């Protein structure tokens, strides 16, 4: 039996091995990759705005006549996942962390209602402000406050919906 703290190792498929090779990655390649990440000058704002626009469209769709919950959840979740996946690479760790909180929340809701949409809208507004103001890193004290408020809103929602 494997202990909880031990990583589980998966053997790569032959197809994957044929695409990326086998064996160790050289120190030089790792350093080159790290340098590329460190020296990245690509502006994250246009990419983030695209994801935020898709999130806004999904929010508007969720406000309309209710259709398939799974479809609506997917349309809201996808741009949030993209923000989470890309933000840290561009130095926006606060966006990645807030997107992670929002994703956990979206995975736990069982229906779409006014309060749920309000939380997603508030998150959208906050993420938009972070991008617009180029607030890189963790956002310091303000960033911690934003994350805590988002976590608090999600927790209050869940407590209200699932209290016994």
* 93-113 pLDDT, tens digit each: 999 999 999 999 998 888 788
Q: Grade residue 119 by pLDDT with cuts at 50, 70 and 90.
A: very high
> Is the distance from CB of 126 to CB of 150 less than 8 angstroms?
yes
Q: Is the pLDDT of residue 5 over 80?
A: no
Q: What is the pLDDT of residue 88?
A: 85
pTM reported for the whole predicted model:
0.76
Of 1.20.120.160, 1.10.3720.10, 3.40.1190.20, 1.10.3230.20, which CATH number belongs to 42-162? 1.20.120.160
Cα(102)–Cα(147) distance, integer angstroms: 10
User: What is the DSSP code (8-state) at residue 84?
Assistant: H
User: Mean pLDDT over all residues of the chain?
Assistant: 86
> Is the distance from CB of 79 to CB of 124 less than 8 angstroms?
no
Residue linked to tokens 């016994």: 164
Q: What is the pLDDT of residue 157?
A: 92
What are the tokens at 110? 């069982």
């Amino acid at each position: 039996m494997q202990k909880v703290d031990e990583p589980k190792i998966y053997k790569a498929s032959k197809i994957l091995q044929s695409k990326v090779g086998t064996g160790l990655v050289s120190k030089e390649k790792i350093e080159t990759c790290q340098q590329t990440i460190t020296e990245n000058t690509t502006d994250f704002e246009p990419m983030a705005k695209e994801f935020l626009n898709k999130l806004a469209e999904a929010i508007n769709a969720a406000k309309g006549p209710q259709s398939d919950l799974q479809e609506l959840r997917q349309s809201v979740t996808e741009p949030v996942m993209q923000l989470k996946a890309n933000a840290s690479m561009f130095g926006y760790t606060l966006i990645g962390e807030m997107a992670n909180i929002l994703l956990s929340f979206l995975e736990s809701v069982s229906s779409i209602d006014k309060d749920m949409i309000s939380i997603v809208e508030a998150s959208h507004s906050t993420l938009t402000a972070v991008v617009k103001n180029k607030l890189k890193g963790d956002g310091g004290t303000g960033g911690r406050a934003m994350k805590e408020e988002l976590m608090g809103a999600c927790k209050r929602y869940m407590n209200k919906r699932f209290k016994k």
